[in-house]
Chains A and B, each alone.
Chain A
Amino acid sequence: GENVEQHPSTLSVQEGDSAVIKCTYSDSASNYFPWYKQELGKGPQLIIDIRSNVGEKKDQRIAVTLNKTAKHFSLHITETQPEDSAVYFCAAYAGNMLTFGGGTRLMVKP
Chain B
Amino acid sequence: DTAVSQTPKYLVTQMGNDKSIKCEQNLGHDTMYWYKQDSKKFLKIMFSYNNKELIINETVPNRFSPKSPDKAHLNLHINSLELGDSAVYFCASSQDKGKTQYFGPGTRLLVL
A42 and B97 contact, Cβ closer than 8 Å, known pairs A97-B45, A102-B42: no
Q: In the bound complex, do residue B103 and residue A44 qualify as a contact, i.e. CB atoms below 8 Å apart? A: yes
Q: Does B66 contact A (CB under 8 A)?
A: no
Q: Does A110 contact B (CB under 8 A)?
A: no
Q: Does B64 contact A (CB under 8 A)?
A: no
Q: Give A100's nearest chain B residue, CB to CB.
A: B43
Q: Give chain A's interface secondary structure class.
A: strand
CA–CA, A32 to B92, complex, Å?
Answer: 17
Q: List the B side residues contacting A100 at CB < 8 Å.
A: 42-44
Q: List the A side residues contacting B100 at CB < 8 Å.
A: 34, 46, 49
Q: In the bound complex, do residue A43 and residue B101 qualify as a contact, i.e. CB atoms below 8 Å apart? A: no
A46 and B97 contact, Cβ closer than 8 Å, known pairs A100-B43, A103-B41: no
Q: Does B98 contact A (CB under 8 A)?
A: yes
Q: In the bound complex, do residue B102 and residue A42 qualify as a contact, i.e. CB atoms below 8 Å apart? A: no
Q: List the A side residues contacting B27 at CB < 8 Å.
A: none
Name the distance in Å between A99's Cβ and chain B's nearest Cβ: 8
Q: In the bound complex, do residue A43 and residue B48 qualify as a contact, i.e. CB atoms below 8 Å apart? A: no
Q: Does A89 contact B (CB under 8 A)?
A: yes
Q: List the B side residues contacting A87 at CB < 8 Å.
A: 41
* A-contact bits for B78-112, CB 8 A (1 contact / 0 none): 00000000000010100001101111111000000
Q: In the bound complex, do residue A103 and residue B45 qualify as a contact, i.e. CB atoms below 8 Å apart? A: no
Q: List the B side residues contacting A32 at CB < 8 Å.
A: 98
Contacts from B to A (Cβ < 8 Å): 4, 40-45, 48, 55-56, 58, 90, 92, 97-98, 100-106
- Known A-B contacts: A42-B106, A43-B103. Give 12 more (CB < 8 A): A32-B98, A38-B41, A42-B105, A43-B104, A43-B105, A44-B90, A46-B100, A46-B102, A49-B100, A96-B98, A97-B56, A97-B58
Contacts from A to B (Cβ < 8 Å): 31-32, 34, 36, 38, 41-46, 49, 87, 89, 93, 96-100, 102-103
CB-defined A-B contacts under 8 Å, sample of 15:
A32-B98, A34-B100, A43-B92, A43-B106, A44-B90, A46-B101, A89-B43, A96-B48, A97-B45, A97-B48, A98-B45, A98-B101, A99-B45, A102-B41, A103-B42
